[in-house]
Chain A
Amino acid sequence: MSVTLERPGAERGAPPARPRPGLRRSADWARRAPLLPALVFMIVVTQLPFVATLVISFMNWNAYYPHARGFAGLDNYARVLTDVNTRNAIVVTIELTVVVVLVSLVLGMAIALLLDRKFLGRGAVRTMMIAPFLVVPVAAALVWKHAIFNPEYGLINGVLKWIWSLFGSSSPPQPDWISAFPLGAIEMTLIWQWTPFMMLILLAGLQSRPLDVIEAARIDGAGSWQIFRYMTFPHLRQYLELGGLLGAIYIVQTFDPVFVITSGGLGTANLPYIIYQTFYLAHDYGRASAAGVITLIGTILIATLALRTVSTLFRQEAGR
């Protein structure tokens, strides 16, 4: 496999001789010095805001009522959790993440398996598959909204009209896709962009399979399904987990297509959009922070899982 290798760290980490504790300490600092700028920068820029969010979440703070600022206890949390919109947003966030990750993983795996075979124009198909991932997300959302889903001149209804006209019918179905399936339209756009991501990771996983062992199994008479079930799939499992968890982390935070396609309307507002709305438009800082903390807790649950998977992968390689 071609995952990061780590040489036995123990010997490498130890200096050849350790004469005096003072020297050792200064050597330790010499080792740490190159790391410190990045570490300090990250702590300041990413950790302090979360602490501030936590503090603000217990405060009564609305920019429209600057004099009413004060300690609010758990009020913000009570208001957030009893608010229909926020509860709806939690459900939407979960649905969006689960649907998009699962569908793009399954599609990505199917396409990766197809692309793992030799056929005419394999490179061209791979290039075509990557294209959706390289369209700027805002641009992708705009194009899907206006050029594809639009009921009057969108591509889908255009093609429907063309097909119906082939059969001499003048009354083709022309549904308004975004009004009829608002969340589905957003999911479709996201799946279109994320399937290539999953496909790329899984294809890399497939191509790192030990081919000689598979060839040996084939010679021993193992069928294609057996090889997939007992050899390819177990090998791919860690790549599936990696793709799924990285995908989940990004999609939980999805903002662009919700903002562009529905502006959070029609019951599609997810947590990031609700927080954006609460603080940027309604200026209710306390409540936005409470919603932020709730999102944070939810993400930490996923992230703990993700970290465990990545760390297994990582230590497994480090231990070699």
Chain B
Amino acid sequence: MSAVTDVAPVPATRTREGAPRRHRRQRGGVVLGLVAWLIGLLFVVPVVWMLLTSFHSEPDAASNPPKVFAPLTLQGYREFFGAGGGASPWPSLLNSLTAAVLSTVVVLLLAIPAAYALSIRPVRKWTDVMFFFLSTKMLPVVAGLLPIYLFAQYSGLLDNIWFLALLYTSMNLPIAVWMMRSFLAEVPVEILEAASVDGAGLVRTLRQVVAPVILPGIAATSLICFIFSWNELLFARVLTGTRAETAPVYLTGFVTSQGLFLAQVCAASLVVSLPVLIAGFAAQDKLVQGLSLGAVK
């Protein structure tokens, strides 16, 4: 970039000392590779520890110093799924799935046409519209939470998973519009025009010209919307009760039991995180696109 010109020309004396320097650089590379491995391991330790503890018996999980090689058991998972007599987590997992999938579908239905009107056939002042969408994402949800709660209470929508899905839709729509626009902006307009000159209908143009370009974008957008909806706690905590409780709310509620529960907590945390872990690992590159609102591809 422009800063390149700042580099002062350095006399080219490197030919004489080139060989030893490369050698040194290689050894430095090995050390830096080891440092990277060390940091990576440090960051993954809590996840591995959670995984390991979830397969230990409660007394082994609560031992100090930790018993890394204790025998493995499914007891924690059995307890979590209701063998211990507590409430089953299945309704809350299903609620989370409903809210996440439903809101993601509605987000896409609203965002794709909007993104079309912001890129391929842009409305006037389309950049202002883009920044309106982005600005809604920057306002703290907590500041709007009370009126939403009062409205839900007044209209009997408290503890209703559909209402929660609607809120998740508003939470994710700006991100989706930004992402989808960045993908639609790559659709070759010349081809679109050629298609319309050749007499191809709108549906056919969309299917054969637009779809191949934006399907990866739809995948990236869905991934991000799904993750954010699945993770959400504050709205769900305030607006749901026994019927529409989501998995994160269930997680915060079940650690009130007495006695040893560490393996169970780890098993529960892992089960609830599993969909996100699978989706995120499967689509690592899409994750970056989504997090940067489609700015980085």
**Which A residues lie at the B interface, using CB under 8 A?**
2-7, 9, 12-13, 28, 31-35, 37-39, 41-42, 45-50, 52-53, 56, 110-111, 114-115, 117-122, 124-140, 142-144, 146-148, 150, 152-153, 155, 157-159, 161-162, 165, 192, 195-197, 200-201, 203-205, 208, 210, 213, 217, 220-222, 226-227, 230-231, 234-235, 239, 242, 246, 249, 252-253, 255-256, 259-260, 271-272, 275-276, 279-280, 285, 288-289, 292-293, 295-296, 299-300, 302-303, 306-307, 310-311, 313-315, 318
Taking CB as reference atom, which chain A residue is nearest B248? A138
Once the chains bind, are B49 and A35 in contact (CB under 8 Å)?
no
Once the chains bind, are A162 and B66 in contact (CB under 8 Å)?
yes
Bits for B1-43, please: 1 = Cβ < 8 Å to A, else 0: 1111011011111100000000000000110110111011101
Once the chains bind, are B136 and A135 in contact (CB under 8 Å)?
no
Tell me whether A288 and B118 are in contact in the complex, defined as CB-CB below 8 angstroms, given that A136-B269, A146-B255, A221-B12 are known contacts: no
SS of B interface (majority):
helix
Q: Does B113 contact A (CB under 8 A)?
A: yes
A244 CB to nearest chain B CB (Å): 12
Once the chains bind, are B46 and A192 in contact (CB under 8 Å)?
yes
Once the chains bind, are A220 and B9 in contact (CB under 8 Å)?
yes
Q: Would you list 28 pairs from A and B whose C-beta atoms are within 8 A, ordered by A residue?
A: A4-B182, A5-B186, A12-B122, A13-B124, A31-B117, A31-B123, A35-B113, A35-B123, A42-B174, A119-B29, A130-B281, A139-B268, A140-B46, A143-B46, A146-B265, A148-B46, A204-B296, A221-B10, A221-B11, A226-B7, A253-B141, A280-B238, A292-B143, A292-B146, A307-B134, A310-B134, A310-B295, A315-B127
Q: Tell me which of A3, A131, A196, A213 contacts B277 (CB under 8 A).
A: A131
A287 to B9, CA, bound (A): 63
Once the chains bind, are A220 and B146 in contact (CB under 8 Å)?
no
A202 CB to nearest chain B CB (Å): 10
Q: Does B162 contact A (CB under 8 A)?
A: no
A128 CB to nearest chain B CB (Å): 4
Size category, B interface: 35 or more
Tell me whether A130 and B287 are in contact in the complex, defined as CB-CB below 8 angstroms, given that A119-B36, A136-B231, A280-B238 are known contacts: yes
B23 CB to nearest chain A CB (Å): 15
Q: Does B252 contact A (CB under 8 A)?
A: yes
A260 to B128, CA, bound (A): 39
Once the chains bind, are B185 and A253 in contact (CB under 8 Å)?
no
Query: For B225, what are the chain A residues with a Cβ–Cβ distance below 8 Å?
Result: none
Taking CB as reference atom, which chain A residue is nearest B148? A49
Once the chains bind, are B44 and A114 in contact (CB under 8 Å)?
no
Instruction: Beyond the given A134-B276, A292-B145, please list 13 additional residue pairs across the A-B interface where CB-CB is below 8 A.
Output: A33-B117, A42-B133, A128-B40, A128-B43, A133-B287, A136-B248, A143-B269, A155-B45, A204-B288, A222-B7, A276-B145, A299-B140, A314-B130
Query: For B7, what are the chain A residues with a Cβ–Cβ distance below 8 Å?
Result: 217, 220, 222, 226-227, 230-231
Once the chains bind, are B252 and A138 in contact (CB under 8 Å)?
yes
A221 to B182, CA, bound (A): 39
Once the chains bind, are A152 and B139 in contact (CB under 8 Å)?
no
Query: For A221, what are the chain B residues with a Cβ–Cβ distance below 8 Å?
Result: 10-14
Q: Tell me which of B1, B30, B47 contacts A132 (CB under 8 A).
A: B47
A53 to B143, CA, bound (A): 7
Tell me whether A136 and B143 are in contact in the complex, defined as CB-CB below 8 angstroms, given that A131-B47, A195-B43 are known contacts: no
Once the chains bind, are A155 and B66 in contact (CB under 8 Å)?
yes
Q: Does B161 contact A (CB under 8 A)?
A: no
Query: For A302, what are the chain B residues with a Cβ–Cβ distance below 8 Å?
Result: 138
Q: Tell me which of A155, A255, A310 contacts B49 (CB under 8 A).
A: A155
Tell me whether A311 and B143 are in contact in the complex, defined as CB-CB below 8 angstroms, given that A31-B121, A134-B277, A153-B61 are known contacts: no
B232 CB to nearest chain A CB (Å): 9
